[in-house]
Each structure stands twice: as structure tokens, then as C-alpha cells.
Chain A
Amino acid sequence: MRVEQNLGEQFSGGLKESSDMKKFLTILLIAVGVFVSPAFAQRATIDITQGNVDPMPVAAPDFIGADDQTMGLGRDITGVIMNDLDRSGLFQVIDQRAYIQKPESVNERPRFADWRLIKAQVLIVGEVQELSDGRIQVSTRVWDVYSDEQLGAVAFKTPADNWRRAAHKVADFVYKTLTGESGYFDTRVVFVHETGPKENRVKRLMIMDQDGANPIPLTDGLNYQVLTPRFSPTQQQITYMALFDNRPGQVYLFNIETGEQEQLGNFRGMTFAPRFSPDGREVLMSMERNGNSDIFIMDLSTRRLTRLTDNPAIDVSPTMSPDGRRVAFTSDRGGTQQIYTMNANGTNQKRITFGQGRYQTPVWSPRGDLIAFTRQYNGRFYIGVIRPDGSGERLLTESYLEEGPTWSPNGRVIMFYRQTPTRRDGSGGQTQLWSVDLTGRNLRRIKTPGDASDPAWSPLLP
């Protein structure tokens, strides 16, 4: 059976940084028909809304290749897919050494008994082929081992050197097939790369794949420290704060594709804590004037700044709900820092956190159902989530110092940074990126080249 249906859907925007369209990906749908039996049996699915999920056992033999090159790519692609699925906490990837069957073709019906024997529930079979135009095609089938049923099939065509993205797209396809929700594996993370002693820290902007691969520096870190970068939800754009020597820090806009950056306005006071509106057309931020910080919103097309709060207390860390109607922020107007919400025009300000300690850095989930935050209590720091009405607070992680949550685009995983205390002589004190799912049980460190802080998750790449 050959690929019969080409959706011809091109992934546009995003990564067209090179003129030769090297990163161009196309999606195809493998014709199903042949192997798909009527869905009588109960399908293998994962309900990720449950608090306690048993990871689904999944088997993924190395993707098949006809020659050394495609076999090598097949191995690498399988490794990336298995790593993605394993790190999600929803899947338990069965060790390849236990596998009995070695699939010969992606179009063969698997020997399900062999996979049931090793207690696999889901089987991923894939194949890498070199196309006549030099690109590769990665074809994948997802099988339900217990119902002997194909759950889905997908193929991606891409230049060979773009194999990692094809692998992430396959992992996203598997995730969506089994959970019903879109994945988050084909995404990137911007973060602050930190080097040097704490008293004289170099902080520069870096970007990498969600799994830590392909780290690339975006700024040189020479003239200013980069703080609190945020990804645009709609474009390959970042906003961050540049902290200068001897003059107030300012909010900048950075274009990932061109490398161009510009200061957003030119203000006497410090501008900081920027965050895009969900449509990417506005940037919320704090502006300081005579020592007092209030929240403003800037229209990126007109550069007009509109005041949202006017309070003698500190108002920082604004974040807009995905429907664009509400803004959450931190304020110490009640004595200590707590989280407040208000309408997008600044009216109807009300406090939503009332627990002990300090509640800070609210970040609205892309799903809209939760707000992630940093809580500081009794000498410890926590990352937690709370519903926008202030109910249902849950703390997910705890340590000496952690803050700066950012959501995966599907609203299921939170990334943040954690700093360990220094040794007695002041050395040490690592700063690293971590992720945790909404159950709080799947805590993982994100690999970075050296110390890293202030992660910001991109939307799903196009």
C-alpha cells in the first residue's frame, strides 16, 4: 500500500527562516481502509483530566529504513518520539530489548500476540523513506494492541536534516490520537542562559526545542541582561526586559526570524514584566514612575500605551485570559503580594488568593481554566495552580527557590525555573529548568547548556 492521499497542507509561517525552505514540512494522511476494523472494541485512550493516571505501556520499535541512512534516521526519530512520550508522564515506553517482533514494513499488520505478550497496549510502527527529491518521508501507524485495531496513521515529508521536527510531529500525533488533545512536542522554549558569578551574571536569550535539543543563543549578553522573555502566542516573536547598567530597564520586542529587536516605547521609568495578549497584538507590562509600578497595555500597531491600574501599591506580572476578557496580576495593595483579576479595561479589580504567604507571577493557562502561580510561604517557594475565581488551589512543586511558570500550549504541563541554595562559601547554587504536569507527579528537569532561568513556551509550531 502506498500513500494515497496527500492533503497537501503546508506548514507555513514559523520556520521559513531560510530562503530555500529547508524546514518545510508537509503532512499526508496514509490511507486507512485496509487494516481498520470497525471500532467495536474499546479503544486505547488516555483520560488526561484524571488526577492519577497510570502511564500507558507503549512499544516503539526503531522506525524501519531500507538503507544505512534511513535506518540511522529511523533509530534517531524513534529515540526522540520515545523520549517525548516518556517525559509526558502519560506513557511508559517499554524497553526495546523486550520486543519479540521486528516489523519489516510500516504497511504490515503487526503480530499483536507478540506485543500483548510484553504487555504493550499501544504499538507505534514507522518507516523512513528517502524521496526522489532528496527529502524523507516518515510514515507512522499507531496500533491498539488489544483490539487489533489501527488507531491512526500519519506521514510527514521533510528535509532529512529536519528529522527531529518530524519526530516531534509524530509524537504529537500519537499524543492526540490517544488523549484526544493536541500535543506540545513540536514546540520551542526561549529562556535566559546564565553564566558567570552571581554578583556579575551574564544573562542572554536562548532558544531551544522543547526537549532541550538545538539550543541557539539569540543575544550576546554583552550590554544588558535579558530577563523574563515571553513567546508570542501567534508569531515568531519574543518580548523581554533588558536590564541595563545605570539606567532603568526597558521592554523589548525580538523577531526570531530576522534577529531584529526594538525597544517598546521610550519611557523615563522602568518598563518590565511584559506579556503578550492572546492574539499577539498587544503587550501587557508594568511601568514604574517615581518608584510606583502600575499595569499598562500597549497596542503593538499604534504603540499606544493604556493604563489599566492606578494604585499606590506595586502592581506587576499581568497575564490575560485566552478569551481576552480578563487580566490577572500581582499586587501588594493588601499588605503582601496576592493575585488579583480585573477586566481587560482595568475595571472590576478583585483579589482571588487568600492563603498564607505571597502569591505571585500569575500565568493564565492557554485553556483558560487555570492560573499558574508562584507562592512564597514559610521560607519555601511553590508552583501551583488555581481557578480564575480563586477556588481549587493546588500546589504542584516545592523547593528553596522556584518561580516563573510557563504553560505548554495545550495547558497540561508547566515549565519553570528552580534555583538551589549556594554552598557555604557562596559557590554553587544551580539554576535549572524543570517541568511538571498538572498532577504534580511528573516532575522532570529540562536539559540546558549550563544554568537557565525564565523559560517561555512557544505555541505549537506551524
Chain B
Amino acid sequence: MQAIKVKSRFNWLLPVKAGLLAGVIALLLALVGIVEIANQRPVIPGVLSVGQTLLLLPFLWAGYRAVRQAGSGEEAPPRFWLFVNGALAGLLTGALLTALLLVGKWINLRTVFINASPELYNLLTMGAGPAGVGILVPMIAGLVLGVVVAAISLLPERMRGSVVLGLSLIPVLAILSSALFAGRGLSIGSAIAVFVAATGGSYLWSIMQARVKERINNHPAGQRAAQWSRWALPVLIIALLPLLGKYPSEVMDMVGLYALMGLGLNIVVGFAGLLDLGYVAFFAIGAYVMGVLTSPEIGWTGIHLGFWGALPFAVITATLAGIILGIPVLGMRGDYLAIVTLGFGEIIRLVVLSDWLKPYIGGSNGITRIPKAVIGPLEFGTPQTLYYLIVAGCLIVAFASVRLKPSRLGRAWMALREDEDVAQAMGINLVRTKLLAFATGATFAGLSGAIFASKLTSIYPHSFNFMVSINVLCLIIVGGMGSIPGAIVGSLALVGLPELLREFTEYRLWVYGAALVFMMLNRPEGLVPEARRRLELHESEVESLDESGEKHVTVPG
């Protein structure tokens, strides 16, 4: 009995586990070289770099986890123990890094871990070097960080949220400023200003929120304004983004093109449950038809259309390709379908690359001099203007998706995804429904490809490799399978964010992998899940509700 009581007050296992796990993550981050590379970019010059911030994260996570788990029980332990918990977790995380320094001192690790360089050791000891006391720096830092995390977690809830927001805004703003405007991070003064403004502002808002909302709701004019701002604000932000300049627009263009493809693949995989791994094929077909019909280099067709003239052909050809791919795979399901579509994607790439078709579509030289889209005096030539063209495309496709989802066809797709045999026995025409899914998905990818071709003005076979299909699939998984806003958010997260941290380019796949594992473990329904999927994946929570007497589980809408 007594033993149990002691255990509930202080459980050694929690901080030890959290600390060691975080330590392993910190070691991994250090040894793959990501920390060192990110060290070149400052958050606050001379004080903190992005690399150091990255290295801080495991420490903070360990402290947070240790403190939260200990403090969440029925009998919360006294505050003192929370500090011990946090400190111990941080200390252990640091201990693993210290162990790396110790080993590195005697053995040359670089034969295996090429990134275990003196620069890394310098970084880990905050410049003190791995000799003497410097070796203890990670542990001391861990101890201090653990205590700080414990202290923050003891703040009242509102204040805690504000402080965390204020602290995390500093690196976010620094990265944004250096990535988009070639800035050099924040100065100490501006970092403090950001922290004070964000923390104070959000704290004030959290106090005043209820009262302000009430005021607004009491006035009919205020109500209208609130309703308007719910729509107008996002519209305004989307409309004004290109004002940020050329590079941010360029990034948003890529995000938009991937979102277009994501919305298309979302119909095939998310709505109809047909796993298509060769989706890039339709993107390539859209781009190549645009290229062949418009570029003055391609003479054999005898046709030289403008962007708008060629667009319908590009889109329709992609649609037809979707149907043509669909026919042979009608009888296939799951893994078999995935493998065959993967093959189809590769076939298209190899055909495009082949010498056989070189006189017609350029082979490995690709197609160049593809014209820009023009409406009257307006040429969609710069990233800023192209952005609007892409947003228009996204809006059309998103609108189509929203309308399709609850339609008769959308319900047939849903039944198909759930149970193909039963769907058939309900009177759903399997052939038609599947082909329409492939065709719709291909249409959207074709549109994306056509805009892509005109954006770059030149296309090459290597732009259409297998990774494009995988990226699109990843982004709809991260965003939320079957969710329309999910495709856009997923594209922002997986296409937009990596652009902000260009030095991570070679770690892109590594980060994708980590993000996917993390998502599958913690949020398998995606960032912006479809209502139905959230229900399904959190069924255990629903069942626990059942026992406490609440029984009704409903799908909103």
C-alpha cells in the first residue's frame, strides 16, 4: 500500500524514459548533420542559431513529457517533484550528448559518422570545446532547461499558453525573415519585443476574449462584421500574399500546384479508396500536351496554340489517360492496384524520355520556349501573377471537390472505398464509378501539369519522376485523407515549409519520413481530418464515452 503511494508521488520511470528517448533523438539530429547545417542560419545572431534551436527541441520535449505525465495523475505530486522530474529528464537527454562527446574524444567517430566533426562538438559544448568542463555543458543545459520547462508548466493555463506562443514565435519569425527577405534573423532587442508583444497580446486577448465577443455579438453590425471577417480575412490574406515579393510567391506557386494535384489524388485515394502510385503520369501528360501544342520548337504538329487554346486539350488528354489507365486495373484492388499504377507512372516517364519519341517531344532535351498565359494586356509571367492563375485553378478544383463529395457519385465512391462487393450489390456500377474516379483525378493533375509547363516555360522528363507521386500522396496523408482543406494544408506543410529551410533540402526525405511516422503515431487522421475519419480513428474514445453513459455518436451535417 505504502509502496503504491510513494510511486504515485514520484515515478522515476517517467523522466528516465522521456530523457533517454529525447537523448536518442538529439543524438540522431546531431549525427545526421542537420544541426550543424542549420547552425549557419541565425535566429538571434551571435546568441542562437536555428541549429541550436533544433537541438533544444528534444530537451524541451523531454521536460514537458516528464512534467506533464507526472502532474496528470489523480494525486498530483508536490511542485518540488515536478522540478525534479523536469530536471532529471533534461539531465539525461544532456547525458547522452555528453556521452557522445566523451566517446568522440577517444575514438575518431568520423570513420562511421561523417558529421561527428569538431564543429559539432564545439556546437554541443556551446563553444567551450570538448576538453575539461566543456564536456558537461549539455548536461548543465539540460538541467536548466528541465527546470525552466517545469516552471513554465506551473504557470496558470492562460499565461502558459501565451508564454509558449511568445517563445516559439521568435524562431518562426526569424526563419521567415531570413528565408523570405534575406534577413539575418532578429536582433536581441527585436526578439525581446516580439516575445513581449506576443505574450502580452495573447494573454490580454485570452482575458478579454469573452467580453469582446459578447460586445460584438450584441450589436447587429458587429455580428455582421464578425461573419464577414470570417470569410474576408482568409480571402484578403490569400489575395495579398504576392505582395510579399518574388520568392514567397514562387514558393506559394509550388504549394498551389501540389495542392491542385493533392485535390485530384484525394478524389482517387481519399474518396474512392483506389491507391494510385503513378499519379505523376497525368501531371506529365498535362505538361507535355501543353508543351507540344504551344512551343514553337515542335513543328511536326503544325499547330502553335496559346496557353488558353492548348489548355482544354491538355486537360482532356489527361482525362482520357485516366480512363485508359483505369480500364486494365478495374478488377484490381489494394496492393495490386498500387503496383500497376506505379508501373504506369514509370512507363510514361520512360516513353517521354525515349529516343523513339525524341523527334516529337524532345526526349531528354525536353521542350522549351513554352509561352506564358496571357489575358488581354496581362501576362502571367512573374511568380506573383502566376500565383493568381494557380489560385484560380485551386479554387475551381476545390469547388468541384466540395460539390462532388456529397453528390450521388461521391456517395458511390464512398461505398466503393468501404466495401467494393457490397457497393456492387447496392446497385453501384463499379466500372463507371471507378473510371470516373480515375478520370476526375487525372483531370486535376493534367490542369496542374499544364500550368506547370507554362510556369517554367520548359519541361524535362526528369521533372516527372516517381517522387512527385510520393510527395502528393504524402501531402494528402499528412493533411488528412479524404479532406479537401487537408490537401491544401498538407501541401503548405510538405511543399511550403521545406522551401523556407532550403539548407534542409538533402534532409527532405528524412524529414518526410519522420513527419509520416509522427503523424501515424499521433494523428493518423491527418492535420485537418475529414469528420468521418476522425470518428473512426478515435472510436476507442467513443467507447469510453459509452461506458460513462453518453451514447450518441453523430456525424456532423
Q: Are A and B a genuine interacting pair, yes or no?
A: no
